[in-house]
Each structure stands twice: as C-alpha cells, then as structure tokens.
Copies of this chain bind each other. A is one copy, B any other.
C-alpha cells in the first residue's frame, strides 16, 4: 500500500516546524494582548449564504464548499440535474463553506507561499474612526517584528482618499477600478506595461503622464504629503486622505515612535475594494515572498455581515505561513525553538529500567522534560534514539549506578560524561 498523499497545497507540520510556528504565534499573541486586543475565534465552517457574494465572483470561486450530508440529491428534479450546470446546482447540494476571510482556506491553485490551508492572525478594531487605530497597527507590527528578530521590512501605507484624489486629478473619476487594478501591478509588471493596460481602458496619454508624475513622487513621507497637498487642491477626497495620513504620522510622533519603517506608497492599491481609509501592506525586504501582512480601514463591511449599524473599523492580519517562510530564509529563528525532552534515561535490563522510572519521576517533578527509552535495547540504539530526537542529555543507569546512586550523566553534544546524583543533575539542568 502506498503512503497516502496529502491534498495539494496542504502540509503536515512536524515537531521542528510546530515549535517555530508556535514561536511566531506566541509572539503575535503577546503583542496583541499588550495592545489590549481580545481574542476571538469563529467556526471554520459558515453557512454559504453568509460567505458568498461578499468578495465578488472570484472570491466565491475560491471558497471550499462542503457537500451536504446524507442523500443530497434527493430533492433535486431530474430536469435540474440534466442541466449539468455545476454553478446552478451548487446551492442545491452545498449549504456550508470553509471561511475565506478571517481566512483559513482558499481554493485557488497552490503556489509557493500560497497555501490552501494557512494560519492568519487578524486584529480588528471596530466601532471607532479614530486614527489611533492605524497608529496602533504600525506600533504592533514594529513590536512583532522586533520580537521575531526581523529588522529589514517596510510598512507601506496609503489611503483610499489619495487614490481617489489621483483619479480626480487625472480625470479618471468613475473609471477608478481599472486604474486601481493596473497600478496595483506596478511592482510586478513595471510602468510600461501598466501604461499599455490603461491605454486600452480609455486613459489618455496626457492623463497617464500626470498619473505617473503623481505615482513617482519621491522623498520623505512628509515631502510626499506636501507635494500631493498642492496637487489635490481641488479634490476633497484627496485632501481627506492626506490629512488622515498626516495625522497618523503626528500621532506616531506623540507616542514617541518614529516612522522609520513606514513608507507612504502612493501606488499601494490592494485588491480588496472594501477599504475606505488607510491601506497597509508589510513587506519583508530581500526575501522571495516579502508580503506578510496587510489590512486597512473599512466603513461599511460590518453591515454586509449583518450588523445593524454601519461601523467603521480597521483590520489587518499577519500571514503566519509567509512569516514562517521568510524567517527560515533569513535564518532568524532562535536556536532553542526545538521542543524535545532535555533528558533520555537509558538502561540495561528490567531492574535498571524500573529504577529509571523513579529517576524519571524526580526529573519531571522538577519540571524537566524527560523520557525513558521504552524498550529493552542495546545502549547504542538508545543513544542513537537520543541523537535522532535531538535530546541533549542522557542518563545511563546500570547496576553500579543503582548501588552508588550516582548516574552516568552525558552531554550528547560535547560528549562529556560525569557521575552525578539525581539531585545534582536536577540542579545542573535547572541552572
């Protein structure tokens, strides 16, 4: 029988990976809590009626849908079946889906850094339009990255108002969407291709020249704001965007933080059209998959999800799997994230095995992660097991050790061996 294969885009997580991921999750959780965020978890499954229609047709395609249990074809008429129309029949045979946003599953083609099952840590503030929320997001990202040992990263920030302002200035009002879509690709396909695309969408050469004049603004965040303020004089939407960003930078300063890692990126558009205020994207520099976090402010999403009031909120999320990949590439995981026992107890026969159980009890009582080799086996096999599991210390128990009460305590890495009592071993390992 063949070893069963995993579905494409999914993975098993082994011990070393789990320990590292735990390191990331613990770090994020600690920072979130320090900033007053309260944890919340929603079910993986949602009714499809709740999930579909929120992210457009493309979003609906990306949902994993769960086949109804039981005789799901029972109530479908033969005429309906004869259509062989998968899309039409889906609601008949599937009521539930795996959530996509607050996101865990995505049904698109697996690719590097894009898994079909992934962990994401979201933080959302709902119910206030205060820009302190945007500032807190920047502060939290800085603190999480500091904890993870990631130094070279950029928090890109933009504002929907700025994008609207650009549309106003270049005369593209009412034609914003193709503009946003095109400039969102600037990073990947470059200026020329973006221009080509927009020319096919009825943008004039002149408007494109103005567009890139704006997009190519250089200098410090303050310089960019200053430059755009003069250009957006006649765009209330553009002005609002710039004022918001200005306040974000000022609030950062009041907090005593710098904008060192923050870059006002006029070309940052992000795919999701529901953002109405600030937009974020975080890139780790000099790694293959840099984009690890993103988010923004939305003023009317909660209504779509059934809340009565139309609350303003800011949300952002860390893509834990991408953070993981980037940290591996940068080699910044701490050495001691591996979780394994500290000590393996080895023995020669039934008597020393039984004696070892008492030693094991003492070690664990002292809080030392430890285990005993479970079977009767040659010492070499037992020591190999310790090495394979990367257990750093072994205690070998024979009749001498049982008589004297002094165990052969071995540092597996250094190869050094000492005779020590159990109490001495405990003290040594705790220090």
Contacts and interface: CB of A to CB of B under 8 A. Distances in A.
Interface of A: 1-7, 10-15, 18-19, 22, 33-36, 38-47, 49-50, 61, 64-67, 69-74, 76, 78, 81-82, 84-87, 89-90, 93-96, 98, 105, 107, 116-117, 125, 128-130, 132-133, 251, 254-257, 303, 305-307, 339-341, 344, 354-355, 357-358, 360-361, 364, 367-372, 374-375, 389, 391
A375 B116 contact: no
A23 to B, nearest CB: 12
A39 B255 contact: no
Given A13-B39, A15-B39, A34-B370, 15 more contacts: A3-B306, A6-B47, A7-B45, A7-B47, A10-B44, A12-B41, A12-B42, A36-B370, A38-B339, A66-B98, A67-B94, A71-B86, A76-B84, A81-B81, A254-B354
A66 B68 CA distance: 9
Given A10-B43, A12-B41, A86 B74 contact: yes
Nearest to A81: B81
A14 B39 CA distance: 7
Given A47-B4, A78-B84, A358-B255, A371 B35 contact: yes
Nearest to A135: B357
A101 to B, nearest CB: 13
Nearest to A19: B39
B86 A73 contact: yes
Contact of A39 (B18, B40, B94): B18
Top-6 shortest CB links A-B: A36-B371, A10-B43, A15-B38, A130-B374, A18-B39, A36-B341
Contacts of A340: 36, 38
A14 B40 contact: yes
A344 B36 CA distance: 9
A367 B133 CA distance: 20
A87 B69 CA distance: 10
Contacts of A355: 254
B67 A61 contact: no
Nearest to A107: B69
Contacts of A13: 39-42
Contacts of A339: 33, 38-39
Nearest to A18: B39
16 contacts: A1-B303, A4-B46, A4-B49, A7-B45, A12-B43, A13-B42, A35-B369, A36-B340, A44-B105, A61-B69, A66-B66, A73-B86, A73-B89, A76-B84, A130-B375, A132-B372
Contact of A128 (B11, B256, B375, B391): B375
A46 B364 CA distance: 37
Contacts of A90: 67
Contacts of A307: 3
A306 B41 contact: no
A232 to B, nearest CB: 24
A22 B30 CA distance: 13
Contact of A65 (B67, B105, B107, B391): B67
Nearest to A42: B12
